[in-house]
Amino acid sequence: EPEVTQTPSHQVTQMGQEVILRCVPISNHLYFYWYRQILGQKVEFLVSFYNNEISEKSEIFDDQFSVERPDGSNFTLKIRSTKLEDSAMYFCASSGAENERTEAFFGQGTRLTVV
């Protein structure tokens, strides 16, 4: 069964450092997402990406965040200068192979710890 894969599974970084979280969505999907979850609680939308551009972003997704799909397969989330409150589980998701009615498939997540 196809799946979304994320690397690394766990990233520890110092405050102020840049991190890049990587994702390989399901190959024929058209819509891509980043979500985050703090301490097993609410799953918060960060950004959606379609047709090689951001289609929507939340207020959490400020200038410190950026996304990229550099080579048609990988989908990355960059945090330029991490803050302690960026510590969370970050999930990548993809959807929409045939149409927009499909469910989103989630990766296993990257646990980001900012110290």
Residue 52 touches another protein, criterion: CB under 8 A = no
Q: Which of 44, 31, 32 is nearest to 89 (CA)?
A: 44
- Interface with another protein by CB under 8 A: which range of 21-29, 65-73, 75-83, 106-114? 106-114
Among residues 1 and 14, whose Cβ is nearest to another protein? 1
Please give the Cα distance from 115 to 83 (Å, whole number).
Answer: 8
Among residues 25 and 109, whose Cβ is nearest to another protein? 109
Amino acid at 5: T
Amino acid at 103: E
Residue 25 touches another protein, criterion: CB under 8 A = no
- Could you give the angle at the alpha carbon of 12 between the alpha carbons of 19 and 43, nearest 5°? 75
Q: Could you give the maximum distance between any two Cα atoms of the chain, in Å?
A: 42
Q: How far is the CB of 88 from another protein (least distance, A)?
A: 14
Residue 34 touches another protein, criterion: CB under 8 A = no
- Interface with another protein by CB under 8 A: which range of 19-27, 65-73, 76-84, 89-97? 89-97
